[in-house]
Chain A
């Protein structure tokens, strides 16, 4: 089998029709990984043994007709921030060492129930902190479209693996754009659902009030089907919210007639690369031609999103990451005297520069005397940003934004100037601050042949609306349907 960027749905159908066995599907992806992963470094850990064992069980169930899910037998990868029982989970950090969780994340278990098969854990920015996958302890992942460039981040390993055909789909996590931005850079589909849609149980927390798990895939239909599988109220996550009905895939209608689309003029002015803007506005025209009503408007408060996000996310991270102390698991410095020295050396040696930067920033903004000035103010700004979106959604069904101000930058460019890197999250972080769903889909390429992603943002719990718009675009513009020419690999 040549998986040739086959969608998960197509592969699932072939498996169900016995055109391909589950084992053959695995063989194909592992073969591809062996061909390309030495170059692009999408994976940190492969779990072949577990995957082939699982493949036998799944194949048997499929044969007996006990497993009818569209994802049955479909191989997928998970960002290494998701706990997988008995399989090394590193968060791309030295500090976790060879840590093997004793349980799997709820999202992983739910995919397991569907018969999807985990083939490996993908590379990422250390603890999901970064926008390029360069802060990984396991080395950077390269963009399959141009190996001199980054795949984006922090779910860069997942995005690159999907784009390079190293898995049928992948799970990522998105705290400030970590699914949507790498999906844009790699020319695939990535969706961050409404906060609370997917259980965070087993997701190693970065910014707990912002983190969401979501799929990265080769089609909008795949994204909807995967989202259907992983969305559920989870008793183990108090912040997960149940819904009467999910049915994301069922709601995919190839129709945007009368759909009201708002274009925030503040997103398409200064700071946005001209080529990227042109490609996206051309894509919006496609939706307009299909019957959508498109209007420009002022979203306001846009410039506050970045500082607000970095204060809240870093504050939560500084606390979330304090459990990595060398006491119970993972890395511990060999050379120390007494408890405090052990903490200090373990954390100094175990965390990378970007993680330390954010822990320090977060500890600072929570310190007595600064809490009101920074953290509390950021919480207020967050509420105002949410209100600005509420006003917008009173008028529009979908808001269009870029996935990122530019296409994928070259390796090493971003880390030189962290502030510049932070600023590149401008179009994605507000969505997390407001808890909204957002999807990026590939809508074309710039002059260098690098993918451009368009982001569609919906109101809370309105994933169906943005999925519908994304689906309509995908069906209309056949050539951008993720059938990317990957000749260089």
Chain B
């Protein structure tokens, strides 16, 4: 390949908002549930029903718009997007086309190639569709409307990204902003964050864009990266072979690592958009924007800076801890109790992450309370328990959120500081292990380790390790 190609990517990101109820009715948005149990005449599109806008949806959309530097549309409206499909009970989706809630924003992303701005073209609110379940056995399709009417925002970027790295950085940035705002949990696997990738290639230096395709069904960051690489290569191959890329929508199959065409531009649907007559325009005054702005929580970038300044923890730690709002909240709440930021950071960075990995737990699923971690840190710091015991106790906290003070007392895990008891155990170890004693006396320093272990064993692991060592040295050396 002699020519150099540049990949041009724009994203349409759908985010399910974290409202308790749906966008146009009072039904629960809870994920799962028996089919058609979170439904009513409105979200099943029954004749005569009418939508009523959930204001919380606008609040969340505004929070995202403000955090992504968008211009808010002072009077925005809903439109109907008409298309027939059984998961769409009215055969139209209430969305926004002509006057979306916000436009012209941007976020800053950081990759190996540096910091850059990705511009946001527009952001709009819309309702999600239901879910079709195909029963192959008796060749029927069933519809579950539980998800029908769950609120979404769609964030449409400009074609500002040039690589999978940039796309992932952009999505990660959006995810962190939105999670921090509490506007969505942004789980790709559960579909609460979804992305369609618009991609084209062009020769480096070419002033115009190539023909783009739209890739759908991307359910993980890894799938996005793989799909981008595959589509980039597919388009370059077509061009190299003298062919032309067709503007079309393609569906990614992550198992086969292959995409196939769903529909081309020629048979693109005409959605016959028009203003939704059942809803009144939303007038967003300065006071509304100000109310949202003033309630805006500290976002990740600001938090990162504050951590470095306020807590004196390594930048690497601060980055990891702030990657999830839940983790950052845990860190701050625990530190506020025990005032030992470095220790808290260590427990989270090492033991917590280890156990999360081991048990397949997400940050959002952590159950332990900050006060219990703080208590544990204090127990370890004032040497009530030694580090081995501390790790054991933490595992109980991690799994069951036990109170470490009570647990240590009940289980008799407090460190044995009693020198007499330690001396007794040490003497027993010496008398039972003459070989090790001899080794030590012959200059094998390491043999002391074995004797420490044996002493600790008698002490059920609760001996104060410093004292144990001291006692052994004095017994052996005298």
Enumerate chain A interface residues (CB-CB to B < 8 A): 82-83, 89, 91, 96, 99, 101-103, 105, 200-205, 207-209, 235-239, 315-316, 318-319, 322-325, 327-329, 339, 343, 363, 366-368, 371, 375
Residues of chain A within 8 A (CB-CB) of B260 are none
Query: Could you tell me the distance in whole angstroms from the C-beta of B40 to the nearest C-beta in chain A?
Result: 9
- B48's partner among A203, A322, A328, A329 (CB-CB below 8 A) is A203
Known contacts being A209-B277, A316-B277, A327-B86, is A201 close to B272, with CB within 8 Å?
Answer: no
Q: How far is the CA of A208 from the CA of B80 in the complex (A)?
A: 13
On whether the beta carbons of B91 and A323 are closer than 8 Å, the reply is yes
Please give me the residue from chain A that is nearest to B25 by CB atom.
Answer: A236
On whether the beta carbons of B274 and A101 are closer than 8 Å, the reply is no
Please give me the residue from chain B that is nearest to A200 by CB atom.
Answer: B50
On whether the beta carbons of A328 and B272 are closer than 8 Å, the reply is no
Residues of chain B within 8 A (CB-CB) of A366 are 82, 272-274
Could you name 20 residue pairs across A and B whose Cβ atoms are closer than 8 Å? A82-B48, A99-B47, A101-B46, A101-B48, A105-B48, A205-B48, A236-B50, A238-B279, A238-B280, A239-B278, A239-B279, A322-B91, A323-B45, A343-B84, A363-B272, A366-B82, A366-B272, A366-B273, A367-B270, A371-B273
Please give me the residue from chain A that is nearest to B280 by CB atom.
Answer: A238
Q: How far is the CA of A323 from the CA of B41 in the complex (A)?
A: 13
On whether the beta carbons of A83 and B48 are closer than 8 Å, the reply is yes
Q: Is B53 an interface residue (CB 8 A)?
A: yes
Residues of chain B within 8 A (CB-CB) of A324 are 47
Please give me the residue from chain B that is nearest to A196 by CB atom.
Answer: B280
B213-248 CB mask vs A (1 if < 8 Å, else 0) is 000000000000000000000000000000000000
- A204's partner among B47, B82, B273 (CB-CB below 8 A) is B47
On whether the beta carbons of B92 and A322 are closer than 8 Å, the reply is yes
Enumerate chain B interface residues (CB-CB to A < 8 A): 41, 44-53, 80, 82, 84, 86, 89-92, 143, 270, 272-274, 277-280
Residues of chain B within 8 A (CB-CB) of A363 are 272
On whether the beta carbons of B45 and A103 are closer than 8 Å, the reply is no
Please give me the residue from chain B that is nearest to A362 by CB atom.
Answer: B272
Q: How far is the CA of A405 from the CA of B27 in the complex (A)?
A: 48
On whether the beta carbons of A325 and B50 are closer than 8 Å, the reply is no
Q: How far is the CA of A315 from the CA of B82 in the complex (A)?
A: 11
Please give me the residue from chain A that is nearest to B84 by CB atom.
Answer: A343
Known contacts being A323-B91, A366-B272, is A239 close to B280, with CB within 8 Å?
Answer: yes
Query: Could you tell me the distance in whole angstroms from the C-beta of B276 to the nearest C-beta in chain A?
Result: 9
- A208's partner among B82, B84, B273, B278 (CB-CB below 8 A) is B278
Query: Could you tell me the distance in whole angstroms from the C-beta of B309 to the nearest C-beta in chain A?
Result: 48
Q: How far is the CA of A209 from the CA of B277 in the complex (A)?
A: 5
Query: Could you tell me the distance in whole angstroms from the C-beta of B92 to the nearest C-beta in chain A?
Result: 5
On whether the beta carbons of B278 and A238 are closer than 8 Å, the reply is yes
Query: Could you tell me the distance in whole angstroms from the C-beta of A269 to the nearest C-beta in chain B?
Result: 33
Known contacts being A319-B80, A366-B82, is A204 close to B48, with CB within 8 Å?
Answer: yes
Query: Could you tell me the distance in whole angstroms from the C-beta of B83 to the nearest C-beta in chain A?
Result: 9
On whether the beta carbons of B53 and A83 are closer than 8 Å, the reply is no
Residues of chain B within 8 A (CB-CB) of A101 are 41, 46-48
Q: How far is the CA of A367 from the CA of B46 in the complex (A)?
A: 25
Q: How far is the CA of A99 from the CA of B53 in the complex (A)?
A: 27
Q: How far is the CA of A344 from the CA of B277 in the complex (A)?
A: 26
On whether the beta carbons of B277 and A102 are closer than 8 Å, the reply is no
Q: How far is the CA of A105 from the CA of B274 in the complex (A)?
A: 26
On whether the beta carbons of A201 and B48 are closer than 8 Å, the reply is yes
On whether the beta carbons of B272 and A368 are closer than 8 Å, the reply is yes
Query: Could you tell me the distance in whole angstroms from the C-beta of B306 to the nearest C-beta in chain A?
Result: 42
Residues of chain B within 8 A (CB-CB) of A375 are 274
Known contacts being A201-B48, A201-B50, A325-B91, is A319 close to B274, with CB within 8 Å?
Answer: yes
